[in-house]
Amino acid sequence: MEIASVRNLSFTYLGRDNQALSDISMVLRKGQFLYVLGSSPSGKSTLASILTGIIPNSIQGVLSGTVAIQGTEIDGVSISQIATEVGFVMQDPDSQLLEMRVEDEIALGLENRGLKRPEIVQRMQHIMAETKIEHLAGRDPSTLSGGEKQRLCIAAALVLRPDALILDEPFTDLDSEGVDRLIQYLNDLSNNLGIAIVLLDKKVPNFPAPNSSVIVLKQGRLLCSTELSSIWQDFEFWKEAGVISSPLAEIFSALGIRSASTTLSHAFAMMSDAAMKKRMLCSSISESEPKSTGAYCDDTAIACKGLRYLVPDASFDLRVDLDIARGEMVGILGPNGGGKSTLLRLIGGLLRPSGGQVLVLGLDPLKGNQIYLRQRLGMSFQNPVDQLFLYTVEKNLRFSIESSSVDKALTDTRPAIERTATDFGLKDVLNSSPEELSYSERHRAALASILVNDNLEIVLLDEPTRGLDLSTRELLFGLLAKLKRKGVTVVITTHDSEFIYGIADRILLMHCGSIVRDGSPQSVFHDSDLRNDFSVAPPFLVDACRILGYPPVTNLEEFTWRLRNYAAAETHN
Amino acid sequence: MQRQRLTIKLYPLTGFLIAVWLTVMSTLFTDLDIALILFLLALVFYILSLRSHRFAKLLSGRVYGLLIAGAIMLVLFNGLFANVNIESHHVFFELPIGYQHYGVSSDGIRYGIGAGLRYLTMLLGLLGFIVGTQPRDFANALEDIYCPATIATMFALTFRFIPDVNRHLGRLWDAQKSRGFIVDRRRRLGWIRVYGILVTNLLIGTVLNAQRLGLVLEMRGIGSPVKRCHWQRYYFSPMDLVVLIALVVCTATALYARYVLGMGTFKAIE
């Protein structure tokens, strides 16, 4: 049974020359699990906006082709009517939360559809239990962590029991447990209730849903439409499409496994089987713990002494004692709502501690020499929209240069702006408003507005990989490596253990406002209990090494080299 | 032993009635003593509202700053100029502004203090209602008394924007700090730049926010032909009854005192 069908769809935004979508055809069937993958801007969000009626009802442009929901063409149908058939969870959770209590947020859609009070309460309680957000009852959504907000948005969409649910990059703010649970829940919705799931993403999933299909978009054009399992390990194709390939697929490929897995435990079993068959398993190769490679100095860049902060509406207080050396690159990981962003804001002087002290470059960020500190400290927020407050990208960059310049007589900011714009691929959009940019461009502009300052000694980045496409992710990786070489201290909060594993010198694990693990990435991630105890997924490379009994490696090349060498040694023996 | 906090949870419309009553009384009575009593009542209402809801944390020092600055402005303005309407002129001192000398009278100062208190009473009443009532509770309660859903939603959205604007302001402030900007107190013009950016961004942000809210509301089915229902029940408690009776009695007494006995208007010192 067809839920939605799209035939020869093209769309151009008002005032733009390029087509955002060009000649797209697709069909969405009951119970289907469809991935729509592509880099940014590929047209994924435009397609979602058309399927939900936002285009052309709210966003103007030139639309051609036909779109039908449940057999009815959507031309002239209102957004609220379409919403009963197709639910939509947008990329940015902040932009879709309306109410001031969690329960009200979930109930709003049901109330507007005139359901009776007992049914509203019953459905609301059921969905809160399903999405595991019962503990958030009574809280103000604006005080929730990014992941909690995302779960709330999903609950608010699912409570309407739509025939199809479109989710625009729903995993960006979720911790490992949240991702696993959401995947499981979406699979159940698709299999048991027959709800069609459309998942928009820039990454190939590690655990594709069974029998899932995929359409891959690039610059508004359809690159391919097929079963996901058939191209899951086609890394050349993903690179060409600008989509981030699955790290698990890469490890499977190295181990010679040719099929995808749907769950983590199944993936581990497959890895173990494959290694056993090829005699690559090792009982234990003991190696001393790898030393971190960072440019350590004796100087302390950041010190938190008996730091305390009463987190509003949370069940815990943040309590941290911490020293970060100059030139160190530190990753802070932990479950949603564990206090990562709060710690970063305390270090950045945006929050006032309830007790203890924060020292940044030896100064209190709230009372010390503010001018000195602000010239040397840069901070980016989770949401790039919060970072850009002037009307063009250029003005935003200029503001940063002028605000943080040590040179009082600075007059010509143009060279620095142009250099940064080139580095960040923003040259063509310098005069554009941040509102007109794609999410990825906005993210790059936000990062550029921080890193345009040449005097930075400390950089604090809150979830910098959130929603990034392949090219921007690679750009960020290069920039961080450059900062590391320059001896800049970098503190990054993230859920992206694959990214941080390759770059950080030190990992801090935060749980309920405290640092529960502190060490090199290899030592922290090698702890097999991370997933269960702290909802932190180690990189698959670490998992693979643990299963195979190898000491931790830092990249795929090293892993492949070890596999080859060990297999060769076994054959020789 | 932990101290129990005094909290009162009122029916959403009761808070609104209190705010309206305080506003009306503040416009009726210009006498300093009565203005002081009304101000104290508003203060109690505001403090109880603050204690009743976590939502109150959204109010920042900026709001209080605005209140106090407004009250001081009123005292000064009336202290300078209100004496022209007052029968007896007990001039305290003369204030030279340009070529003019303005007499600042004791009556003017008293009138100014009264005006400041009345201004604070009105705003504290309004703030007490805002912080103590969730916007949607108010809208739902309005619908319960057969107010059209469109008007009720309009009210809810208007109040919904207040904490939103406050949060947006905080985000802008943090963004400026995170980008290396710090107000150099030696450069006074720095403030103009900061507030220029804040105000223009707030305006633009509010418009964009309104568009976004409209879109999300549509996606949640607002405006559909079926009659809206709401999941929460609102009960009229004995405390609401006490408050309502008190309001009626006070209103009757006040009207009698004001219009029959001629009390409550500002009188100059003989």
Give residue B173's identity as a one-letter amino acid code.
W
Run of H or E residues at A91: none
Q: Which of A229, A551, A493 is nearest to A338 (CA)?
A: A493
Q: Characterize the bridge pairing of strands A489-493 and A329-333.
A: parallel
> Which residues, in sequence order, are bridge partners of residue A507?
A331, A519
CA-CA distance, B110 to B32, in Å (whole number)?
7
Provide, as residue numbers in chain B, all residues whose Cβ is less than 8 Å from the Cβ of A378.
Answer: 178-180
Q: Taking the mean position of all CA atoms in its chain, how far away is CA A453?
A: 25
Q: Do A114 and B227 touch (CB under 8 A)?
A: yes
Q: What is the mean pLDDT of residues B216-230?
A: 79
Rounded Cα gap, residues A160 and A181, in angstroms: 20
pLDDT at A270: 86
Pairing state between β A355-360 and A300-310: antiparallel
Q: How far apart are CA B56 and CA A100, in angstroms?
A: 12
Q: Over chain B, what HEC string results?
A: CCCCCCCCCCCHHHHHHHHHHHHHHHHHCCCHHHHHHHHHHHHHHHHHHHHHCHHHHHCCHHHHHHHHHHHHHHHHHHHHHHHHHCCCCCEEEEEEECCEEEEEEHHHHHHHHHHHHHHHHHHHHHHHHHHHCCHHHHHHHHHHCCCCHHHHHHHHHHHHHHHHHHHHHHHHHHHHHHCCCCCCCCCCHHHHHHHHHHHHHHHHHHHHHHHHHHHHHHHCCCCCCCCCCCCCCCCCCHHHHHHHHHHHHHHHHHHHHHHHCCCCCCCCCC
According to DSSP H, which parts of A242-369 are helical? 247-254, 264-277, 340-347
CB contact under 8 A, B178 and A379: yes
Give me the residues paired with residue A319 across strands: A308
Give the B-side interface with A, CB within 8 Å: 54-55, 57, 134-136, 160, 163, 167, 171-172, 174-182, 184, 197, 201, 208, 212-224, 226-231, 233
- Residues A421 and B206: their CA atoms lie apart, in Å, by 29
Triad B10, B11, B16: Cα angle to 5°: 90
- Please tell me which residue, B133 or B187, carries the higher pLDDT value: B133
Determine whether the interchain pair B222/A80 forms a contact, defined as Cβ–Cβ distance below 8 Å: yes
Q: Which chain A residues touch B134 with a CB distance below 8 Å?
A: 100-101, 104
Q: Which value, in Å, is the radius of gyration of the alpha carbons in chain B?
A: 23
Q: How far is B119 from chain A (nearest CA, A)?
A: 29
Query: Which of B171, B180, B220 lies nearest to residue A378, judging by beta carbons?
Result: B180
**Using CB atoms, which residue from B134, B172, B227 is nearest to A389?**
B172
Q: How confident is the model at residue B2 (pLDDT cuts 50, 70, 90)?
A: very low
Tally the C-alpha atoms within 13 A of residue B126's C-alpha that lie toward its C-beta: 13
The reported pTM is 0.77
Q: Which of A98, A161, A342 to mutate to test the interface with B (most CBs of B within 10 A)?
A: A98
| Among candidates A99, A100, A400 on the partner chain, residue whose Cβ is nearest the Cβ of B180 | A400
Query: Within an 8 Å CB–CB cutoff, is residue A516 touching chain B?
Result: no
Q: Is A100 in Cβ contact with B55 (below 8 Å)?
A: yes
Chain B residues inside the 8 Å CB shell of A365: none
Q: Which residues contact A162 (CB under 8 A, 6 or more apart)?
A: A83, A84, A85, A86, A87, A195
What pLDDT was estimated at residue A384? 74
**Whole-angstrom distance, CA of residue A500 vs CA of residue B97:** 65
Measure Cα distances from B245 to B26, B124, B240, B242, B252 in Å: 19, 21, 9, 5, 11
Q: What whole-number distance in Å separates Cα of residue A460 and Cα of residue A455?
A: 14
Helices (H), A288-413: 340-347, 370-376, 384-387, 393-404
**Which chain A residues are Cβ-neighbours of B217 within 8 angstroms?**
98
Cβ separation B219–A52 shorter than 8 A? yes
Asked if A433 is an interface residue toward chain B (Cβ–Cβ < 8 A), one would say no
C-alpha separations of A455 from A235, A477, B184 in Å = 39, 20, 19
**Do A355 and A384 form a contact (C-beta atoms < 8 A)?**
no
Using alpha carbons, select from A506, A68, A565, A554 the residue that is nearest to residue A295: A506
Q: Which residues of chain A register pLDDT less than 70?
A: 278-298, 313-314, 368, 405-411, 566-573
pLDDT of res. A313: 64
Chain A (216-275) residues lying within 8 Å, Cβ to Cβ, of chain B: none
Given an 8 Å threshold on Cβ–Cβ distance, is A107 in contact with B184? no
What is the model's pLDDT at position A471?
A: 84
pLDDT at residue A392, as a whole number: 87
Paired sense of beta strands A213-218 and A221-227, if any: antiparallel
Out of B54, B184, B197, the one facing A389 most closely (by C-beta) is: B197
Residue A453 sits at the chain B interface (C-beta within 8 Å):
yes
What whole-number distance in Å separates Cα of residue A351 and Cα of residue A132? 29
Distance CA A127, CA A149 (A): 15
Give the nearest partner residue to B181 out of A95, A112, A374, using CB atoms.
Answer: A374
State the nearest Cα–Cα gap between B42 and chain A, in angstroms.
25
Rounded to 5, what percent of chain A is helix, strand, coil?
40, 20, 40
Regarding predicted confidence, which is higher, A352 or B189? A352
Name which of A108, A112, A350 is nearest B174 (Cβ-Cβ).
A350
Q: Kindly indicate the confidence band of residue B85, based on its pLDDT and cuts at 50, 70 and 90.
A: low
* For chain B, percent of residues with pLDDT exceeding 70: 80
Long-range contacts of A498-501 (CB under 8 A, 24+ apart): A498/A247, A498/A539, A498/A540, A498/A541, A499/A465, A499/A473, A500/A331, A500/A333, A501/A525, A501/A538, A501/A539, A501/A541, A501/A542, A501/A554
Q: How far apart are the C-alpha atoms of A479 and A329, rounded to whole Å?
A: 12
Scanning every residue of chain B, which has its alpha carbon at the shortest distance from the alpha carbon of A52?
Answer: B219
CA distance B120 to chain A (A): 27
Q: How far apart are CA A11 and CA A54, in angstroms?
A: 13
Mind listing the pLDDT tens digit for each residue in A535-553? 888 888 888 888 888 777 8
Q: Which residues of A touch B214 (CB under 8 A)?
A: 58
Asked if A349 reaches chain B (Cβ–Cβ under 8 Å), the answer is yes
- Beta-carbon contacts below 8 Å between A and B: 145
How does pLDDT run across B136-147, given as a tens digit for each residue?
888 888 888 888
- Choosing among B179, B182, B201, B233, which should be mutated to test the A contact, i.e. which has the most A CBs within 10 A? B179
The DSSP line for A136-165 is GTT--GGGS-HHHHHHHHHHHHHTT--SEE
Taking the C-alpha atoms of residue B17 and residue A567, their distance in angstroms, rounded to an integer, is 81
B94: closest CA of chain A, how far (Å): 42
A111 neighbors B230 (Cβ within 8 angstroms): yes
**Does the beta-carbon distance from B182 to A371 stay under 8 Å?**
yes
Tell if the CB–CB gap between B181 and A403 is shorter than 8 Å: yes
Q: Are the beta carbons of B57 and A116 separated by less than 8 Å? A: no
The pLDDT of residue A290 is 45
Minimal Cβ distance to B221: which of A109, A378, A435 = A109
Any B CB within 8 A of A342 CB:
no
> Hunting for tokens 């993403």 — which residue is that?
A201
Residue A130 near chain B (CB below 8 Å): no
Beta pairing partners, A34: A198, A213
Q: Are the beta carbons of A95 and B216 separated by less than 8 Å?
A: yes
Cα three-residue angle A213-A215-A219, rounded to 5 degrees: 165
Is the ipTM here above 0.85? no
